[in-house]
Amino acid sequence: MQRFILSKKNQITLIGGILIIIGFASELIYKNEIIALWSLAIASVLGLAPIAIQAYQALKVKVVSIEVLVTIAVVGAFLIRNLEESAIVTFLFLFGAYLEQRTLNKTRSAIKELTEMAPESALKLMENGEFEEVEVDEVDVGDVLLVKTGAKIPVDGTVLTGEGYINEASITGESLPLSKEKGLGVYAGTILENGTLQIVAERVGEDTTFGKIIELVEEAQDSKSEAERFINKFSKYYTPAVLVLAIVVWLFSRDIELAITILVLGCPGALVIGVPVSNVAGIGNGAQHGVLLKGSEVIHDFSRVDTMVFDKTGTLTIGNPKVADKRMYGGNTDEVLAYLVSVEKESDHPLAKAVIEYIGETKTYIVEKTDVVKGGGIVAYVEGHRVAVGNVALMEEEQVHLNEQAHEDIKKLEANGNSLVLTSVDGELKVLMGIRDRVRPGVKEDLQKLKKLGVKNLVVLSGDNQGTVDLVASELGLTEAHGHMLPENKAAYVEDLIAKGQVVAFIGDGVNDSPSLAIAQIGIAMGSGTDVAIETSDVVLMNSDFSRLPHALGLTKATANNMRQNIFIAVGVVLFLLASVFFSEWMNMSIGMLVHEGSILVVILNGMRLLRYKLKY
């Protein structure tokens, strides 16, 4: 029965409103007090039913909720035969709850839109060689799928055949379609605008990037910040205090109507709803713009950031380095380069890939006894020769003699902003390569926006040589630049900044920089929605789009400010209403409830403004 009544709250609100109109029309126009009396009485009882049920459910768990205050007030008004006010109060309370829920649903529009984008079916290659439409839940890793123009990509995967343009706005927030061809990755929930693709499924269902985004946004919208936890705790004690105040007023004044009015006016509805609606709207806006904010606690901390620490490669730079210069020492050039490629194929480091790409097709050998030297490079045996590939520190560790020419070449390449890859064979330096990465387009302008948003310190930490890091810092106008930093050095540096009282955000690729991402107050991952980036960070900039960072910071500042505005509005309205009860003659229960419900709507609408937030500069 309780469940049935609660499910019909909207219909009860409508019937109550109609009965109130009938009641006032009967009394004021037709002078029929009997119909007026019965209409208002029925409206009061009907309206009280769902409110009283919620009050009972709250009391069962020892919570004095807003519904408890309203129930006592309405029963009291009914007993003193103030039916007009009892009917109006129940109607306004229920109508306010309806508007509150409807408006809150709008603030959750981002996650709703994401959910609706989730693909439901796929064209799967069957054993008979034909493609058949199946439910997306029936697709397994390794299945081959056909995607036609206008269809949604059903899984995360890789293109096997075909070409086309895909709209990845649901993943990256970027509206321009991207060209896809054989070997490139695609994401579930994105739309093939033209072309035909065959893809192999690599992640399905909830494991897809799209599934993880939905899960993260849902969790974030349900999370509670410090401000919300304080308000919930405050309300827990505040509502019983209002009840006690009403009882005290009645004991001293013997004015039951005044006591009932205090119960109604003291309801902290706007205070309870004001912060969550700002939180939900802010996270929703972020999701629409390719920024994942993991909860309102993140919003609170991010809005106070005054220091941003950046990894260089893949964050400030594109992360696709190319060999810019090469020096050879000694003979057997082709053989040495073949040794170098053979060893570099054992590594997945970006510099190794650049070396392999530069040398191109060449003979390769079996590599034995591979030893990865942390922060240095790789040492291995090729055709019986000890081959070391890495930085200057590795050469020193291997006791490789660097002659005057080599030292001169190293200084020159470093001065030009190159990362160095040295190769020695049996303790003799054979190859020196200079590899450079390019700064991301638009990064300098984005960093200026961060400064305007109040970030005082912009720091770059990199495992690269100091010369390269200094060049990048100089080009971008950064505050500090530190090279030769291992992951543990970066983490220690971040810890030191925090110990000095700075609020630090670390921006990295979410893999090598995971210790720093975890230590910083705010970890921000650049990583095209990779698993590690999503799991280790507080904020994810989808598609490694650096330009989302100023929007993310501006959004969190606007959201935190919006929360403060809503708290001020809510507290101000309650204080005004209670003051009006004691110091004015015009305030009554109906007017108070109207103002009270109006304040709830105001804080909700104020929070909804965040859905339209855009950075102004």
- The catalytic residue positions are 311
| Count of CB atoms situated within 10 Å of the CB of 489 | 15
Say if CB 536 and CB 514 are below 8 A apart.
Answer: yes
Say if CB 421 and CB 355 are below 8 A apart.
Answer: yes
Q: Of 264, 267, 266, 260, which Cα lies nearest the Cα of 77?
A: 260
* Pairing of the two strands 419-425 and 144-147: unpaired
What are 465's two structure tokens? 């040589």
For 479, phi then psi, to 5°, come to -75, -45
Q: Which helix (H) or strand (E) holds 511?
A: none
Per-position b or e across 268-294, b if 16+ CB within 10 A of its CB: bbbbbbbbbbbbbbbbbbbbbbbbbbb
Measured distance CA(544)–CA(513) in Å, rounded: 15
Say if CB 595 and CB 573 are below 8 A apart.
Answer: yes
Query: For residue 419, with 0-12 CB atoms within 10 Å meaning exposed, 13-18 middle and 19 or more buried, which class applies?
Result: buried
Query: For residue 104, with 0-12 CB atoms within 10 Å meaning exposed, 13-18 middle and 19 or more buried, which class applies?
Result: middle
Instruction: Give the amino acid at 115.
Output: T
What are 439's two structure tokens? 């700064």
Q: Which residue has the tokens 């490079």?
A: 377
Instruction: Give the amino acid at 353.
Output: K
Residues contacting residue 558 through CB under 8 Å, at least 6 positions apart: 282, 610, 613
Measured distance CA(541)–CA(289) in Å, rounded: 9
How many CA atoms lie less than 13 Å away from 456 in the CB half-sphere? 7
Query: For residue 442, with 0-12 CB atoms within 10 Å meaning exposed, 13-18 middle and 19 or more buried, which class applies?
Result: exposed
For 587, phi then psi, to 5°, come to -75, 130
Measured distance CA(21)–CA(28) in Å, rounded: 10
Measured distance CA(476)–CA(443) in Å, rounded: 8
For 553, phi then psi, to 5°, come to -65, -45
